[in-house]
Structure 1
């Protein structure tokens, strides 16, 4: 199946929210307590996602018109990278990150920083991100990772 990456629309908010909630509850649950997962879930209601679409550069991945992934760029921060559990490990996250990188380069961003979940650390490392330090929000561990964007010339 062909996966397409495009800018998110406000009308995508409910679908993006559903992808994020499923990924959190089904994929991230192996690395975080239910309490942490549910706290994060509350931050990604359809209305909250609609607001994020207005504040960040948000992309969606679609297969046959179905939203199956999302990623966003906020300055030089990569945020909210999620892929629906039923289509994970098919290169969709990598396609989303390639679009984030293209957008960052077009904006002359020198490096990308991603606050990675424990679950996604290996994914980002494979894309060339290096762990810089850990960050904690209560008992929620996030790995701050960075990747320098080389000059393509």
Structure 2
């Protein structure tokens, strides 16, 4: 018979592997703009978790338009839970607006949003160049 300690250690190892692998898939996503791919570190909130659930089913494409000279904004195609608060955005911030639109900032602004995440190690000049001056297609994915 198996010793109870050995069975316990095997089970603990399996649980640890599952927890570590699960954590990796939910704390960041990819955002593709034209041919550039950026890593986005997600916030720990219900909106970000629901976004990940949607991305587990399929990538999300957002047709985003220029707004205000500081962001690109577009319809998400579905709603996410909101926890809006007045925040000062910075280049690389990805936020939820009105529950069903995302905004990607290349400059700063202050308004009431639900923060979804931020592009890792963002260079604001490079991001502004990639986003360009007109409409842009943004693809959100897990990989």
Q: TM-score, normalised by structure 1?
A: 0.29
Please identify which structure carries the higher helix content: 1
Q: TM-score, normalised by structure 2?
A: 0.30
Greater RCO between the two (CA within 8 Å, min separation 6)?
2
